[in-house]
Amino acid sequence: MSESLFDQASERLADAIAHVHISEDAIERLKSPKASLQVSIPVRMDNGTLKVFQGYRVRYNDLRGPTKGGIRFHPKVNMDEVTSLAFWMTFKCAAVNLPFGGAKGGVAVDPKQLSKFELERLSRGYIDAIADFMGADVDIPAPDVQTNATIMGWMVDEYSTIQRKLCPAAITGKPLTMGGSIGREAATGLGAFFAIETLMPLLKMERSQTTVAVQGFGNVGAAIAEAMSKAGYRVVAVSDSKGGIYSKKGLDIPSIVHYKNSTRSFQAVYCQDSVCNIVEHDTLSNEELLELDVDILVPAALENQITEHNAHKIRAKYILEIANGPVTPAADKILERRGIMVFPDILINAGGVTVSYFEWVQNRSGFYWTLEEVNDRLKQSMVTETLRIWEVAQQKQISMRTAAYVHALTRLSDAIDAKGTRSYYAQ
């Protein structure tokens, strides 16, 4: 029987516990989610038929504050996946010192097969089903895989209708006109960029001499690829769900982003104003992209991309996890033996939830920040926590992933211990 995704996620906790002293109470509280909900969502399709979709929401731990986590629409969404993602969110929020616990949600659906009207009905139906399970002081959803600001707008509108009052702080990642934060859409990629920029001097690397491959060219993958390209890194390969493009000389990422946004096509191009020409490049699969000989590999797609089956083929020096859980625990051990350093998802992709926190704060105060203020606060957070986790890794001689979990676990343990532990009551 294959190991579940949550079993894999729990291995991270076990690895960290060996390097930090925490109470038995803390260990016990972190083994299981606080609450899990599975719902059926009936949707009237455009042709008049009725389809019922399965939805999920898990609130893993709320000892540091209301739970926070995205909603994904994907055919393979299930309770195991959502629980694992909520677990990771718990540690991510603690790792970057946000006053949130972890949550996650999703619906098992291929949104590309739905009309816009059907997608709206599904989005509103999901919120109608979980409305008693969420709220600005309880659990705050946000966008995730194949959901976006428009969908969050439908959802917060539905929640406000149910509550009979405006509730902008109940959901983040909304359109700006509905209380969204400027800078939220690019936050995950930009946060990852701030983290790698912090690490580059520590790794004694130069931008112009550093090659990069990015697997996954959605909003986040495109954002990190464009940021690194503009900063002088040589991005030699990128891919979407259908495959990848590669050029040893480097790709013009802003042109590729512009071309994809304009035509919905994915090509290696160079653009001057509105004129784009296809340039010489090789095509490759997502699997082949992972195995390229580059300095930095950025998995920005889905979980379980690097496993024990392909970890021995990875040739990158460093792996920057922007997707959630792209490297399995078994692959981690192989990569560590081979001297390949992995910078973990709970640090690297924390920019999104950090700016979601900023949006929540702005919604509750009714005072909104400029893009410069948002990005400055994001940079300060990512730089501070990246350096702290690096110091933990160096002091304890452990991997960056284990160091990130140790750092987060210390904060979570303090929150649990503050309510009293066995040793306290035994005195």
Which of the 8 DSSP states describes residue 306? Answer: B
Measure the CA angle with vertex 195, ends 322 and 77; round to 5°: 20
**Stretch (H or E) spanning 404:** helix 400-417
**Phi, psi for residue 98 in degrees, rounded to 5:** -90, 145
Q: DSSP E strands: which ranges in 115-252?
A: 139-143, 211-215, 234-240, 243-246
Could you tell me which residue, 84 or 263, shows the higher pLDDT?
84
d(CA 253, CA 298): 15
Q: Is the Cβ–Cβ distance between 393 and 386 less than 8 Å?
A: no
Mean pLDDT estimate for the chain? 92
Using one digit for the tens of pLDDT, what is the confidence trace for 354-369? 999 999 999 999 999 9
Are both 33-178 and 181-427 of the same fold? Answer: yes
pLDDT of residue 57: 98
Read off the pLDDT band of 1 (50, 70, 90): very low
Q: Is the Cβ–Cβ distance between 60 and 13 less than 8 Å?
A: no
Which of the 8 DSSP states describes residue 65? Answer: S
**Phi, psi for residue 238 in degrees, rounded to 5:** -140, 160
Measure the CA angle with vertex 51, ends 47 and 55; round to 5°: 140
Is 60 exceeded by the pLDDT of residue 2? no
Using one digit for the tens of pLDDT, what is the confidence trace for 305-357? 999 999 999 999 999 999 988 999 999 999 999 999 999 999 999 999 999 99
Architecture (CATH level 2) of domain 33-178:
3-Layer(aba) Sandwich (3.40)
Architecture (CATH level 2) of domain 181-427:
3-Layer(aba) Sandwich (3.40)
CA dihedral 263, 266, 270, 275 (to 10 degrees): -10
Is 90 exceeded by the pLDDT of residue 11? no
- The mean pLDDT of 8-23, rounded to a whole number, is 82
> Which of 41, 141, 30 has its CA nearest to residue 82?
141
In the sheet where 35-44 sits, what is the strand order? 35-44, 50-61, 101-108, 67-74, 139-143
CA dihedral 197, 331, 404, 339 (to 10 degrees): -60
Read off the pLDDT band of 403 (50, 70, 90): very high
Is 90 exceeded by the pLDDT of residue 27? no
CA dihedral 216, 220, 221, 224 (to 10 degrees): -170
Is 70 exceeded by the pLDDT of residue 424? no
The residue type at 354: T
Residues of the chain above pLDDT 90, percent: 74
Using one digit for the tens of pLDDT, what is the confidence trace for 236-290? 999 987 888 999 989 989 888 888 877 777 777 777 777 777 777 888 898 999 9
pLDDT of residue 243: 86
Q: Which residue has the tokens 């600001």?
A: 149
pLDDT of residue 275: 73
pLDDT of residue 150: 97
d(CA 226, CA 239): 13
Could you tell me which residue, 171 or 208, shows the higher pLDDT?
171
Read off the pLDDT band of 425 (50, 70, 90): low
Is 90 exceeded by the pLDDT of residue 162? yes
d(CA 336, CA 18): 17
- For the chain, domain boundaries: 33-178, 181-427
pLDDT of residue 427: 63
- 48 φ/ψ sector (left φ>0, alpha ψ -120 to 50, else beta): left
Give the residue numbers annotated as catalytic, written as ranges.
104
- The mean pLDDT of 76-91, rounded to a whole number, is 94
Is 60 exceeded by the pLDDT of residue 36? yes
Alpha helices in 131-186 (DSSP H): 149-163
pTM reported for the whole predicted model: 0.90
Could you tell me which residue, 63 or 53, shows the higher pLDDT?
53
The token duo for 399 is: 């991997």
pLDDT of residue 257: 87
